[in-house]
């Protein structure tokens, strides 16, 4: 598919407007490619294979990846490229700007005909996401954020939860981490599994999830766009030490992360650190 998105020079780059428009069009066109092979309630029509490491990939993942690389690199040629479905081009490490992309986050859900999969695109500048989109086309949910301009869901402003108490909070995450938190904090409202990690985190930004827990080894493409959405919605995503993730490093994997509204964040970090036998600063005792 050819794109009508024009390239533009770095000296006229407007991250909050021109790039946002680029992302809007690219995400929606990419969704059309994926939806052509999506079968709600049934297995995808796309060919599926197993990647090294055992995770599945479909021809739809690869088609979306090719399309996004074409149009985003055309629109912003000075940016590097990092995607789950592309060989890692380490030239990205020399660039101030980098596209960080997951063509289909929640591939297993996509393959099985479940609707909770997303297309994730972020532009990272100097290690931080500055524009991002998490789009769940089968659910008609379009989350977006631009640095300093807030976060939106389907064009409407969103805000993270203002809840202060972890006991009774709506929490999403892997069972092991949920068990740890619940032993320390008391009963949680455990939310149903959300196959797309990016969608789980975007729902924290929306305020529908009070806290989201992320196991170690999540990659840049899983979290960069959602990180910005949470931050611009007034929430936080951090390591157990309270540090915000840095992106476009040599190794794109991350340690355990916690996402929540600001009022709940310190308490959630303290609870999980205690449950994992770590000190207040997040170091192992």
222 is in an annotated binding site: yes
Report the distance separating Cα 189 and Cα 255, nearest Å: 24
In this structure, how many other beta carbons lie within 10 angstroms of the beta carbon of residue 165? 12
CA-only gyration radius of the chain, Å:
18
User: Which position has the token pair 């990690």?
Assistant: 197
Cβ proximity of 14 and 76 under 8 Å: no
105 is in an annotated binding site: yes
Specify burial of residue 58 (Cβ count, 10 A radius: 0-12, 13-18, 19+). Answer: buried
Which residues have a Cβ under 8 Å from the Cβ of 78 and sit 6 or more positions away?
10, 95, 97
Closest CA to 83 of 117, 127, 121, 56: 121
232 is in an annotated binding site: no
* Tokens read off for 40: 């709600």
Q: At what angle do helices 175-185 and 262-275 cross, to 10 degrees?
A: 100
102 is in an annotated binding site: yes
84 is in an annotated binding site: yes
Residues of the binding site: 84, 102, 104-105, 222
Residues of the binding site for Mg(2+): 84, 102, 104-105, 222
């Amino acid at each position: 598919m050819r794109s009508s998105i024009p390239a533009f020079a770095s000296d006229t780059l407007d991250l909050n407007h021109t790039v946002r428009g680029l992302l809007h069009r690219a995400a929606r066109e990419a969704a059309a490619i994926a939806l052509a092979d999506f079968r709600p309630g049934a297995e995808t029509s796309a060919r599926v294979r197993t990647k090294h490491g055992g995770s599945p990939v479909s021809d739809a993942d690869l088609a979306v990846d090719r399309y996004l690389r074409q149009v985003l690199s055309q629109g912003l040629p000075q940016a590097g490229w990092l995607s789950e479905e592309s060989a890692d081009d380490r030239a990205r490490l020399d660039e101030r700007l980098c596209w960080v992309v997951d063509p289909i986050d929640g591939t297993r859900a996509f393959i099985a005909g479940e609707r909770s999969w997303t297309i994730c695109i972020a532009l990272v500048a100097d290690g931080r996401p500055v524009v991002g989109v998490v789009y769940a086309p089968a659910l008609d949910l379009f989350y977006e954020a631009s640095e300093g301009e807030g976060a939106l869901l389907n064009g409407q402003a969103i805000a993270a939860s203002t809840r202060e108490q972890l006991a009774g909070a709506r929490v999403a995450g892997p069972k092991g981490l949920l068990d740890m938190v619940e032993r320390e904090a008391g009963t949680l409202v455990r939310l149903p599994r959300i196959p797309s990690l990016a969608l789980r985190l975007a729902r924290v930004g929306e305020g529908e999830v009070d806290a989201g827990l992320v196991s170690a080894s999540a990659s840049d493409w899983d979290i960069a766009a959602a990180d910005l959405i949470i931050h611009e919605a007034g929430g936080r995503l951090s390591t157990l030490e309270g540090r915000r993730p840095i992106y476009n490093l040599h190794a794109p994997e991350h340690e355990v992360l916690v996402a929540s509204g600001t009022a709940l964040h310190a308490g959630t970090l303290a609870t999980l650190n205690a449950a994992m036998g770590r000190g207040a600063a997040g170091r192992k005792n």
